[in-house]
Amino acid sequence: MISRFSSFILYFLLLGFLCSCQANDLQYKLIEEKPIATFVGNVKTDSTLRSEMTDQEFSQLQFQILTEGNQYAQLFSITDDNGILKSASVIDREDVCQPGVQCILEFSVSIFKRDVTDLDKLGFVKFLQIGVEIKDINDNAPIFLEPEIVVNISESVPVGHIILTSTAIDEDSGVNNSVQTYEISSFDNTFSVQLIENLDETSNLGIIVNKQLDRETKNSYQVTVVAKDYGSPQRNGTLLVKINVIDANDNAPKFNQSSYSLSVKENPPIGLVLLHVVATDFDIGKNGKVTYHFGSRTAKVVTRLLSLNESTGALIVKDIIDFEVDQFLQFYIEAKDQGLPAKTAQAIVKINVTDINDNSPKININFPPGGELISEDSKIGQYIATVSIQDDDSGVNGTVSCSVKDKTFELTKVYENIYKINLKTKLDREDKAQHNVTVSCSDFGIPPKHNSSNFIINVSDVNDNDPKFSESVYLSTIYENNAVGDIVAIVTAIDPDEGKNGEVSYSLSLNADSVFSISTSSGIITANKIFDREEIDQYEFNVTASDNGTPRFSSTVLVIVTIGDKNDHAPVYSKSLYTFTIQENLIPGTIIGHVSAYDNDTDGNGRLMFSQSHSFSSVFQIKQNTGEIMVIDLVDRESKELFEFNVTVSDHGLPPKTSSARIRINVKDENDNFPVIIFPTKSNNSIQIPSSLEVSSLYNQSNSI
């Protein structure tokens, strides 16, 4: 009869940082448990960088570890200017790696170069893939997961019967730091210990019964198994095995298979029956009634994920089985009859969990220092950020392809899961000051899983725009006789740049300086003097708008100011007195002359209208428009030989201005009467003269007798 107690083997594979499977550019070694800031290596001098650039470029290199999304990268630090790689925490090899495998932590370092023309700017040079092997020290003792077990064993088991249990675990790796020997101390050498190799290269610990047992002489044993490593210092772990010797029983249950293997896709529905185990017992009654149990040392993870129906042997899914956490489950199940003592049998169950595409790619975006703000004059190709991708699925389900749908930025693959983002086109802050860039990734599973992540790039300003006037020429009118300080015109120029680069100030050209003033900030142009249209009726000058950026940009616009007229001049006659001489008896309608006047105002204010004081004359009339004077009635010198009157001229201003002149018209005689002799007599035309009249003397009526 064989009685075994349960044992378990658990393959617990934690998927850590997925290996980029690229040969590392630099490989370092670090012994575990070293204090923080232990020197690991000098990336700057150990790499081939020195031979790839000039002395000056080499001296200006900057280093950055891509920590985003890589938990191992955070265990290290690098001095940004000289590339000294140090540990950033105390690293316990057993925390970061599985036992027994080579422990290499991998991460990337980005290298930037200061731009010689602009020391604030960083240019991307390359990535270096770094691997740091964490070397083991013997810091862990071998340990048995359960320090004490109880085994019931029939007194009838043959010599050589093996009680199976789990080996001790030593989390250290390396030849001498892992478990090397097992020693047993037992009463009278009844038991010995031996490693039992399994087919899958794991092993179990076998406690071998060396002598025939006899419950009646000794019904229990306590044996101690000590596991030792050969490390320095040597460490050990102990297992106390309490063995109860029980009465014999005929038949044990027997599983129809000694081992059950199956494969299940991850995330099976809760309640799914994975398999039925079947054991038969040839005994009858209680001795033949079989119930099923997990082996006593089944790992907790198994009992958390699975349940076993005691009566039917159905193995049922109890919780989510995730490939990314548990890829393989292995445990013993036990069939037990109800006899006293009960008999048991064991079988091993091995479950492979297979992947389905249930993880979306995770997108991590790393910017260089200050990299989320870039200048609008950045060159095409400027490095923007590094994108690292993580997809926990395996095979095509974990193979990812990413893209950026953006006119301005482009994504290029550097390694399998690392991309860099560069500038694809020139930026123009005035067109777009902020870019919201979306990185979209999909894996190649069927159906694929997608994810996207977006980041914001702010564009900083450079002075690349002139101020622009709202008009190509400013035309403005101001009326003469204005007040000093009156607003003449307002010019406005807009500069789309930001801050000082877009701050506009105005100035006048020299020729306008004394006549006008301009407000530097508002562009309001005011008069420095009182204008007189009759003196100057138009001013032309330039206004310059400049921004305050470096270099300064400016533009110039022509301003034409027209001085508007006010009725500030009265008409003026060319003479104050006009004298005309006419013949009498002119035909009515005859023009006898004209008066003229001028007015220095323009338009209505200068348009003249002549008139006469109407009290005056029914004989002459002045024409309103021309100032011509016309005869309108017969003029008889004999009745009036001198006419005098005033004419007025007025402009069309509001109110009109007037002035007047005097007109004098002399009427000349015309031979319109026959001669009549009134001397010496009207009747006989004879004259008597005295003889005394002297020669040459005039004789007239008064002389007459």
Ligand X SMILES: *[C@@H]1O[C@H](CO)[C@@H](O)[C@H](O)[C@H]1NC(C)=O
60, 110, 204, 357: which one binds ligand X (CB under 6 A): 357
Q: Does residue 296 touch ligand X according to CB under 6 A?
A: yes
136, 283, 324, 355: which one binds ligand X (CB under 6 A): 355
Strand order in the sheet with 620-622: 591-594, 628-631, 620-622
Residue 16 exposure: Cα atoms within 13 Å on the Cβ side? 14
290 vs 69, 75, 93, 237, 312, CA distance in Å?
51, 53, 46, 36, 9
Name which of 43 and 225 has its Cβ closer to ligand X.
Answer: 225
Q: Does residue 602 touch ligand X according to CB under 6 A?
A: no
Name which of 135 and 662 has its Cβ closer to ligand X.
Answer: 662
Q: Does residue 677 touch ligand X according to CB under 6 A?
A: no
For residues 496 to 525, the per-residue mask of contacts with ligand X, x marking binding by CB under 6 A and - elsewhere, is -------------x-x--------------
Q: For residues 389 and 402, what is the distance between their CA atoms, to the nearest angstrom?
A: 9
Q: For residues 611 and 246, what is the distance between their CA atoms, to the nearest angstrom?
A: 155
CB of 62 to ligand X, least distance (A): 25
Contact predicate 165/204, CB 8 Å: yes
**Nearest 5°: CA angle at 69, between 65 and 70?**
55
SS3 226: strand
Sequence-ordered strand ranges (E) for 137-209: 148-154, 162-166, 179-185, 191-197, 203-209
**Token output for 18:** 């997925």
How many CB atoms lie under 10 A from the CB of residue 421?
25
SS3 431: coil
**Token output for 350:** 């091995």
CB of 401 to ligand X, least distance (A): 15
Q: Does residue 259 touch ligand X according to CB under 6 A?
A: no
Find the binding residues for ligand X in span 306-335 (CB under 6 A). 309, 311-312
Beta-sheet pairing, 554-564 with 473-479: parallel
21, 119, 175, 199: which one binds ligand X (CB under 6 A): 175
CB of 663 to ligand X, least distance (A): 9
CB of 3 to ligand X, least distance (A): 9
**Nearest 5°: CA angle at 255, between 251 and 260?**
160
203, 267, 378, 438: which one binds ligand X (CB under 6 A): 438
Q: Does residue 352 touch ligand X according to CB under 6 A?
A: yes
> Across the strands, what pairs with 556?
544
Name which of 121 and 435 has its Cβ closer to ligand X.
Answer: 435
Find the binding residues for ligand X in span 30-89 (CB under 6 A). none
539, 541, 553, 620: which one binds ligand X (CB under 6 A): 541
Q: Does residue 540 touch ligand X according to CB under 6 A?
A: yes
14, 36, 248, 456: which one binds ligand X (CB under 6 A): 456
Q: Does residue 244 touch ligand X according to CB under 6 A?
A: yes
Q: Does residue 454 touch ligand X according to CB under 6 A?
A: yes
Q: Does residue 341 touch ligand X according to CB under 6 A?
A: yes
Name which of 82 and 203 has its Cβ closer to ligand X.
Answer: 203
> Across the strands, what pairs with 475?
560
3-state helix, strand, coil in the chain (%, to 5): 5, 45, 50
Q: For residues 29 and 18, what is the distance between their CA atoms, to the nearest angstrom?
A: 20
CB of 119 to ligand X, least distance (A): 30
Q: Does residue 150 touch ligand X according to CB under 6 A?
A: yes
Residues in Cβ contact with 308 at an 8 Å cutoff, skipping those fewer than 6 apart: 277, 292, 293, 294, 314, 315, 316, 333
Q: For residues 95 and 404, what is the distance between their CA atoms, to the nearest angstrom?
A: 37
**Token output for 386:** 């590094």
Name which of 79 and 202 has its Cβ closer to ligand X.
Answer: 202
Q: Nearest-CB residue to ligand X?
A: 395
Q: Does residue 436 touch ligand X according to CB under 6 A?
A: yes
Q: Does residue 453 touch ligand X according to CB under 6 A?
A: yes
- Cα dihedral sign, 202-204-205-209: negative
Name which of 126 and 350 has its Cβ closer to ligand X.
Answer: 350
576, 579, 581, 590: which one binds ligand X (CB under 6 A): 576
Contact predicate 457/434, CB 8 Å: yes
Q: Does residue 263 touch ligand X according to CB under 6 A?
A: yes
Q: For residues 668 and 585, what is the distance between their CA atoms, to the nearest angstrom?
A: 10
- Cα dihedral sign, 26-28-34-38: negative
Number of residues that bind ligand X (CB under 6 A): 55
Q: Does residue 554 touch ligand X according to CB under 6 A?
A: no
74, 89, 261, 583: which one binds ligand X (CB under 6 A): 261
Q: For residues 525 and 483, what is the distance between their CA atoms, to the nearest angstrom?
A: 13
Q: Is the omega angle on the peptide bond into residue 551 within 30 degrees of 0, that is, cis?
A: yes
Q: Does residue 566 touch ligand X according to CB under 6 A?
A: no
Q: For residues 349 and 261, what is the distance between their CA atoms, to the nearest angstrom?
A: 6
Of 127-135, 213-221, 348-356, 419-427: span binding ligand X (CB under 6 A): 348-356
Name which of 9 and 61 has its Cβ closer to ligand X.
Answer: 9
> Across the strands, what pairs with 593?
629
Q: Does residue 482 touch ligand X according to CB under 6 A?
A: no
Find the binding residues for ligand X in span 203-242 (CB under 6 A). 226, 230, 236
For residues 388 to 407, the per-residue mask of contacts with ligand X, x marking binding by CB under 6 A and - elsewhere, is ------xxxx----------
Q: Does residue 571 touch ligand X according to CB under 6 A?
A: no
Q: Does residue 287 touch ligand X according to CB under 6 A?
A: no
165, 366, 451, 567: which one binds ligand X (CB under 6 A): 451
Q: Does residue 270 touch ligand X according to CB under 6 A?
A: no
Q: Does residue 600 touch ligand X according to CB under 6 A?
A: yes
CB of 565 to ligand X, least distance (A): 13
Q: For residues 482 and 530, what is the distance between their CA atoms, to the nearest angstrom?
A: 5
Contact predicate 112/55, CB 8 Å: no
Residue 636 exposure: Cα atoms within 13 Å on the Cβ side? 4
Name which of 55 and 535 has its Cβ closer to ligand X.
Answer: 535
Of 33-41, 47-55, 260-268, 418-426: span binding ligand X (CB under 6 A): 260-268
Q: Residues of 371-405 as b/e, b for ≥16 C-beta within 10 angstroms?
A: beebbbbbeeebbbbbbbbbbbbbeebbbbebebe
Of 98-106, 447-455, 474-482, 683-691: span binding ligand X (CB under 6 A): 447-455
CB of 10 to ligand X, least distance (A): 14
98, 660, 670, 680: which one binds ligand X (CB under 6 A): 660
Footprint of ligand X (CB under 6 A): 150, 152, 175-176, 226, 230, 236, 244, 246, 256-257, 261-263, 276, 278, 296, 309, 311-312, 341, 352, 355-357, 360, 362-364, 394-397, 436, 438, 445, 451, 453-454, 456, 509, 511, 540-542, 556, 558, 569, 572, 576, 600, 613, 646, 660, 662
